[in-house]
Structure 1
Amino acid sequence: MTKFYELSRQERLQSLVKAGYLAAASADFLQAKPALADEILTAITENDVGQFVLPYGVGANFLIDNQPYYVPMVTEEPSVIAAASNGAQRIAQGGGFQTVVVNHLILAQVILTGVTQFTDLRLRLQAVDRQIFQVAATAHPSMVKRGGGLRSWQVTAVGADQAKISLWLDPQAAFGANFANTVAEAVGNFVQTQVLQGAEQVLAAILSNSGAKMTVTIRAEVPWRALATTTNSGTTVAARIAQLNQFAQQDPERASTENKGILNGVFAAALATGNDLRAISAATTAWLIEHQQLVLSRWQNLSAKQVLQGELTLPLPIGQVGGAINSLPTATISHELLGHPTVEQLMCIIASVGLANNLAALRSLVTTGIQAGHMRLQAANLAILAGATPVEIEPLTILLNQEQQVDLARAQLILKQLRQQKR
């Protein structure tokens, strides 16, 4: 049976349509590769002069909460999708990814200055608790109508004369940045006019990108047999993966690289679904600092069950509607490909891609090394860099993959020889 990655692009699209993942119209759209209309470009960016195109692919073999998925991924790095599919395939042998917990609340802050009597301020705010909820609801009634809105608030002293009001908001299916800012400003105006006294002032009112309560935890168990190589038993590989992960938990230089490997997949899936990579990056940094943790994932070798267990907790400030999700046709197709998941399901899917990439990278590192597979997948890019024309890319790539070691000079020499043979 031909593997998914061995199919042509058209054959992959046809198989996704046949399996019910994509509508025929969506497959036609992807096949045609149409450019964004000028009206859309003008609406979603500033000073537009053109389009910057990135490859759009799918990660295969994902089984998440007992549901199979092809996960859309946008990345210029072929090894990211290959690794995600590889890791997902091994995890599927142990039952796939399982959601442990998921939260989706966005934080907004009203920042106060000139606070000299914090206890008195807190009592004054508590006295208007009901009004704060009413102001928040009035600021964005459509969100309340959809079931969202302000869930809780707290006031906290910060430094000698400052404080913050933390507003925890349910944005429903959206990421909720505009919603959070609207509510924060409304509550800030109310507090300024109705609560604050003397030198107390609202300094700013805005969302926070901490992602503290917009998090997902997923878990996977990989049977030892699924980790074996031709030269290493699954038992040995599992033990070495756990050891390398434990090292990362104590060494910031290794941890940064392991986290980058996780975010390779997370960013690719988030971008494909129209979500904000900057928000995810900021939230990840804040989460690691707050939890005094170096690496996002944790792998344990469970001898009694003969499995390697992985767990990933990740802040994921994302949405299932709004922003670029509704504006970009390919982002809309990504949600179709995933079966139009809820925002909580989408968080689990994106986190699963991160853990799959993490597993594949760790397994390569403790067995064959990362570079052999990486360079094999980079051969096509090297062919392009060497000057291959579109019709020369595939034959040159095949020849490059037959080489033990290759660089640009060698690629250019092989291309020259290939052209001479055709004369």
Structure 2
Amino acid sequence: MDSRIPGFYKEDIDARREIVAERADLSDDAVAALDGRGLDPVRADTISENVIGTLEYPLSVATNFRIDGEDRLVPMAVEETSVVAAASYGARMARERGGFTTQVTGPRMIAQIQAVDIADPFAAKQRVLEAEDDLIDLANEQDPVLVDHGGGCEEVTARVLDTDRGPMVVTHLVVNVQDAMGGNAVNTMAEALAPEIESLTGGDVELRILSNLADRRIARARCTIPPESLAEDDGELDGATVRDRMVDAGAFARSDTYRAATHNKGIMNGIDAVTTATFNDWRAIEAGAHAYAARDGYAPLSNYEVDADGDLVCSIELPIQIGTVGGATQLQPVAGAAMEILDVDSADEFAGVLAAVGLAQNLAGLRALVSEGIQHGHMSLHAKNIAIQAGAPGHLVDEIAERMVAEDAIREDRATELVDELSE
């Protein structure tokens, strides 16, 4: 499959759908789902509580991605106009040097078991560690299907925490969850081990639940971009200048929490859009990413450097807890179609794609910030929304948006004037 589709954004929706269906070899069910047959209220009522209806996001496809030598179309569900365009543009820049290379540490989640009111916490920790083999066996009895598929609890660790409520012994179960997100599996194991932990520590177990700081489930991506690919279209800034400004922007984020928060938000724009499109838990990934960024003082999740050849080297590292089996994906037909478009074979492969998307999103955003400014591209895309809000009929939306962009007057009052003028 070739993910490079020049002019894709210029096609109408039906044509785009046909292109994606052909290139991704979508099933008839997936094509039907993309045609608007998504989550009906009856099914929605089985997924959440107090359901009164459903909410739709635009489902888009980011193009140009080449990840680990394979072209991919990337489904994204997001309401912000510039996200899909930025991801596609970042992927196009990375494509010139072969695209993105990824590495994933494996699908291991952590469950925590908190024990309190312990007379001898350090000795209790030792007793837990001495019982590691038995605890692993007991944990794995809770999910024999996961074990049969090569997963299961692989390690037990313990720590003594000095808290303002006194010392606590916290036991960690490290569980290979294979292609699942893994929340249900690790929570079940933690609850099953609670009585044994109480017996070993002599304390009371209170919390037993997964941690969303999934630092045993790290995804990394990198790419290299030649300076000429970074140059401004109008020639005011050459590629080397843009490259160096992007490196400066990365240094700014590493030195300032205020900037780092926005830097990382740009990364998560892309990752959240893909996880939303596939009905995965974007909240868990957000929590884990920001906790990982804050381990030693809040820092950016991506970095920008210049290699010996003068190219820009971009890299990212973050925890990604994602699944291709279980969860709610199979309950939402459009999410199922999105998974078909993505065409990943494992949770690890999915995590690598998400890391690449986050990096593409971030590098495109940084390039805009250090050159023409973020509002230039963002407001050009936003102009259509302004035209619609001003009551522009469908056949005038593009013309009004183009006029506002040309005048540098992307405002609702100007849009209203143009609607009146062009409708006469």
Structure 1 length as normaliser, TM-score?
Answer: 0.94
Q: For 2:174 and 2:370, locate their aligned partners in 1 and report how far apart those are by CA, in whole Å.
A: 43
Supply the distance in 1 between the matched residues of 2:381 and 2:211 (Cα, whole angstroms). Answer: 39
C-alpha displacement at 1:51, in angstroms?
0.9
Give the aligned partner of residue 147 of structure 1. 150
Pair 1:266-2:271 in alignment = yes
Query: Which residue of the partner structure matches residue 411 of structure 2?
Result: 407
CA-CA distance at 1:401 after TM superposition: 3.3
The one-letter code matched in structure 2 to 1:53 is E
Matches within 5 A, 1:85-124: 85-124=88-127
CA separation in 1, counterparts of 2:18 and 2:292? Answer: 41
Pick aligned residue for 1:381 from 381, 385, 388: 385
Deviating beyond 4 angstroms after TM superposition, the runs of 4 or more aligned structure 1 residues are: none
Q: Residue 52 of structure 1 aligns to a residue in which SS?
A: coil
Of 209, 213, 229, the match for 2:212: 209
Q: Does 1:233 align with 2:238?
A: yes
- Change in CA separation of 1:69 and 1:206 when aligned onto 2, cut-off 3 Å: same
Task: Work out which of the residue numbers 238, 257, 274 in structure 1 matches 2:262.
Answer: 257
- Aligned with 2:214: secondary structure? coil
Contact 1:106 1:169 in 2 (8 A): yes
Query: How far apart, CA to CA, are the structure 2 residues paired with 1:2 and 1:263?
Result: 26
Q: Tell me, what secondary structure is at the counterpart of 2:86?
A: helix
How many Å separate the matches in 2 of 1:347 and 1:155?
28
Instruction: Give unpaired runs (5+ residues) of structure 1.
Output: none
Q: Tell me which residue corresponds to 2:327.
A: 323
Change (3 A) 1:342 1:326: same
Matched, 1:364 2:368: yes
| Cα shift readout 1:154-190 (whole Å, capped 9, x = no counterpart) | 1110114211001111111011111111000001122
In the aligned structure 1, how far is the partner of 2:392 from the partner of 2:38? Answer: 25
Aligned to 2:192: 186
| Cα deviation, residue 353, structure 1 | 1.0
2:306 equivalent to 1:301:
yes
Task: Mark the CA change 1:345 to 1:396 in structure 2 (over 3 Å): closer, same or farther.
Answer: same
Alignment match of 2:139 (pick from 128, 133, 136): 136
Match of 1:79 in 2: 82
Counterpart in 2 of 1:279?
Answer: 284
Aligned counterpart, 1:176: 182
Q: Give the unaligned 5+ runs of structure 2.
A: none
Give the CA deviation at 1:124.
2.4
User: Corresponding residue for 2:17?
Assistant: 13
Q: Aligned-pair RMSD on alpha carbons?
A: 1.7
For the residues of structure 2 that align with 1:45 and 1:390, how far apart are their CA atoms? Answer: 35
Q: How far apart are the structure 2 equivalents of 1:105 and 1:342?
A: 13
Specify the SS of the correspondent of 1:211: coil
Are the aligned partners of 1:108 and 1:206 in contact in 2 as well (CA < 8 Å)? yes
* Seq. identity, %: 32
SS of 2:294 mapped into structure 1: helix
Contact 1:60 1:85 in 2 (8 A): yes
Cα deviation, residue 391, structure 1: 4.5
* Distance across 1 between alignment mates of 2:253 and 2:81: 25
Shift, 1:308, TM fit: 0.1
The amino acid across from 1:170 in the alignment is N
After the TM superposition, which residues 331-370 of structure 1 pair with which residues of structure 2 at under 5 Å, given as runs? 331-370=335-374
Amino acid at match of 1:360: A
Match of 1:223 in 2: 226
| Superposed displacement of residue 392, structure 1 | 4.2
Partners of 2:298 and 2:380 in 1: CA distance: 34
- Cα distance, 1:221 vs structure 2: 0.6
CA distance in structure 2 between the partners assigned to 1:100 and 1:235 by the alignment: 28
Moved more, 148-157 or 278-287: 278-287
Provide the secondary structure at the position in 1 that maps to 2:266: helix
Distance in 1, matches of 2:130 and 2:112, equals: 19
User: Residues 259 and 126 from structure 1, CA distance in 2 versus in 1: closer, same or farther, beyond 3 angstroms?
Assistant: closer
| SS across alignment from 1:168 | strand
Aligned residue for 1:53, secondary structure, equals coil
CA contact (8 A) 2:66 2:99 kept: yes
CA distance in 2, matches of 1:291, 1:344: 26
Give the structure 2 partner of residue 164 of structure 1.
Answer: 170
Q: Is the 8 A contact 2:330 2:336 kept in 1?
A: yes
Q: Does the aligned pair in 2 maintain the 1:21–1:338 contact within 8 Å?
A: no
Tell me, what secondary structure is at the counterpart of 1:26?
A: helix
Report the TM-score when normalising by structure 2: 0.94
Higher alpha-carbon deviation: 180-189 or 292-301 = 292-301
1:195 to 1:322, Cα distance in 2 relative to 1, 3 A: same
Alignment match of 1:290 (pick from 281, 292, 295): 295
Give the secondary structure class of the aligned counterpart of 1:17: helix
Q: Secondary structure at the match of 2:312?
A: strand
Quick check: 2:213–2:292 contact (8 Å CA) kept in 1?
A: yes
Structure 1 position 20, deviation (Å): 3.6
Taking the aligned partners of 2:177 and 2:135, their CA distance within structure 1 comes to 17
Sort the Cα spacing of 1:221 and 1:21 in 2 relative to 1 into closer, same or farther, 3 A.
farther
Q: CA deviation at 1:293?
A: 4.2
Secondary structure at 2:407 match in 1 = coil
Aligned residues: 415
8 Å CA contact retained: 2:263, 2:300: yes
| CA drift at 1:367 | 1.2
Q: Residue 64 and residue 2 in structure 1: after superposition, are their counterparts in 2 closer, same or farther (change >3 A)?
A: closer
Closer/same/farther in 2, CA of residues 312 and 2 from structure 1, 3 Å limit: closer
